[in-house]
Amino acid sequence: MNALSRALETSQQYRFTLDDVLRMQAAGILAEGARVELVDGALVEMASEGAPHTWAKMQIAKRLMLLAGDAVQVIVDSTLRLSPTNAPDPDLYLYDARLPLTSVGGANVGLVIEVAQSTVKYDLAFKAELYAQHGVRDYWVVDVNAATIIVHRTLDGGLYRDVTQYAAREAVTSLVFPNLTLCLADLPAIR
C-alpha cells in the first residue's frame, strides 16, 4: 500500500457545502456549467444526456408547465437545496409558486422528477434514498428505455414505502398538485 492510499484510509475527507461550490464557481475554480451535483458533501459527475433523455425531459416540462399555470413553478435542470451538503440537480422539480425559490427544500418541494436513460439504477436506488431522507414526498423516475414512470411515495423512516410502476398508457397524478397528470403515451414521440 502506498502513502496516498494510507492517507486516504486514515484521513477525514473534506465535505463541501453548496456555499463552497458557489464560491468555487465565482472564483473560476469550478466552471459554472460543470455537470456535477453535490451529494453528501462530494461533487459527483452527472452522466451525459442522450437524445431520448433530453426529448423526454423537454416534453414533460412543456406538459407540466402548461397544466401548472401560475400556481406551480416548474424548474428544469437546476439545483434543489436539500441540505448544506446535499444539492442535487434533478431534471425537474415543482413547488408552490407562492414560495420563494430560496426557501424550497425537500419537505416543501411538491414533486421531483428524474428522467433516466443510462442512470435508471442510480435514480431508483441512490437518488430515491437521498430524496426520501430529505423529505421529498413525491418522487418520479421516468425510465425512457422502458417507457414507464416509477412513483415513490409514503415516507417512513427516511424510506419510500410505496413504489409503483406505471406503463406508458397509464396516467400518473401528482400527490401534491392533483391537477398535474402525466401520461407518457400522450407525449410526442422522439424525433
**Domain ranges across the chain:** 49-186
Quick check: 141 and 75 in contact, CB under 8 A?
no
* Domain 49-186 sits in CATH 2.60.40.10: no
- pLDDT tens, per residue, the chain with 191 residues: 666 566 656 667 778 787 887 787 788 888 877 777 778 877 777 777 889 999 999 999 999 999 999 999 999 999 999 999 999 999 999 999 999 999 999 999 999 999 999 999 999 999 999 999 999 999 999 999 999 999 999 999 999 999 999 999 999 999 999 999 999 999 988 65
Would you put residue 174 in left (φ > 0), alpha (ψ -120 to 50) or beta? beta
Question: Model's pTM, two decimal places?
Answer: 0.86
Quick check: 109 and 93 in contact, CB under 8 A?
yes
**Cα distances (Å, whole numbers) of residue 111 to 17, 22, 64:** 24, 25, 11
Quick check: 117 and 145 in contact, CB under 8 A?
yes
Distance, in Å, from the CA atom of 29 to the CA atom of 173, rounded to the nearest integer, reads 42
